Amino acid sequence: MSEVAMEQLKFLSQDDVRTVAERFGTPVFVYDEATVRRSSETMATLPNAFGLTVRYSLKACPSQAIIRLFDRQGFSFDASSVWEARRAVIAGADPAKISMTAQEAVFDDNLRELIDAGLQFDAGSLHQLDEYGRNYPGGEVAIRINPGFGSGLVGRLNSGGPQSSFGIWHEQLPEVKRIVDEHGLKLVRLQSHIGSGHHWDILIDAVRTMLSFARDFQDVHTLDLGGGYRVSALHTDPVYDHTEWARVVADELTAFAEETGRRLHTEVEPGTYLTALSGALVTKVIDKADTGEDGNSFLKINSGLTEIARPSYYGVQHPIVSVPATGTRAADDAEEYNVVGHCCIAGDVLTASYKPVEQLAPVPLGRTEIGDFIVIERAGSYCSSMSMKNFNSYPEAAEVLRRADGSFDLIRARQTIEQVVVNERIPEGL
């Protein structure tokens, strides 16, 4: 195969890959502290009209070490379940710095304890708003709005519009007013998350929809724009300038202030943008296969759906880099491979096509042999947290933090098979 443009390692060197594999084993997630800090600085300094709060979206990567990193930087947090919120508190976060917008919100002791300690509750439905009012009459509350449209990198990442269950439908404002008045609530924050990997012009339309709501609720002081901000992962991806849409939002809020006298604060909830490019999954090639001269060449790795489900679920492509176990390769020593996982299911494919996801999309890699390493980049968000954990009873992978000085710290030990089954019980007589 002639010389082609292959993906490159983002923050690890080839020697780093070998060191991590030897010291911690494979598969192993590696997160880079310096990359996290750079992306944090970019998001924290976005243009804004009347102040900006950045909430790290915990579902992206809820490792306690990562949470602690953001907490020490002064960030707030976005939780998608009561359990994510409790996990952040265990890591040291103040409940008052957490807002929760969840599909499941049950006002039991777990949730009550957090709200009483300062957690900010976002009602994602009329039922949730009513339940909050019954439990906290006269309290402050936020709501998530479905603006009637959405946008995402793929259809399954679109969380707005008539096919989405997320948020209160934009035409149900009269019912929101009724519930707020019935319980004496103060509606102080409006939130909308239209999808992950969205187009920013559609985000602006969502902002305008929220501003139309804000006109009818005088206590609203904050607009939360959600997350879903794109990153440039593949070498073919464009560079995204997030200051562009932020300036437009600031202009919209400035115009609203000039008209109404109300200066609304801005919140954003990035997850992918803050951690995606800070993570790499280091795996080992355990086997090779092919389907004949006119067929496909496969690299089998000791990872897959058990660590990363995005390629199989969404058809989203991750940068993939081959690292030789020893030595180096010539730049033109490349072949096209399909990279597949170790799970006993046909869909465990890391080189799936974007459209349709059922088709293979081989990638050019350096000539790779059994025992070499495959590094899957852009693995810092929605990988460890969204994997098919323990499928085929594979233990959970280890996780490592690459510190700013280049050293490596273990932040999650590799699970043992005894830990996999620790909560199982065998009834007497079996």
Residue 77 near residue 97 (C-beta atoms within 8 A): yes
344 is catalytic: yes
d(CA 160, CA 303) in angstroms, rounded, equals 33
Cβ neighbours of 53 (radius 10 Å): 18
Identified catalytic residue from 61, 343, 344, 383: 344
Q: What is the DSSP string of 378-406?
A: S-SSSSGGGS-TTGGGPPPPEEEEE-TTS
> Burial of 73 by CB count in 10 Å (0-12 exposed, 13-18 middle, 19+ buried)?
middle
- Provide the strand spans (E) within 89-151: 98-101, 120-123, 140-146
Look at residues 32, 52, 56 and name the one whose alpha carbon lies nearest to residue 44: 52
Q: Do you know the residue count of the chain?
A: 430
d(CA 240, CA 200) in angstroms, rounded, equals 10
Write phi, then psi, for 285 (nearest 5 degrees): -75, 120
d(CA 113, CA 100) in angstroms, rounded, equals 13
Look at residues 256, 120, 105, 281 and name the one whose alpha carbon lies nearest to residue 187: 120
d(CA 337, CA 298) in angstroms, rounded, equals 6
Residues with catalytic function:
344
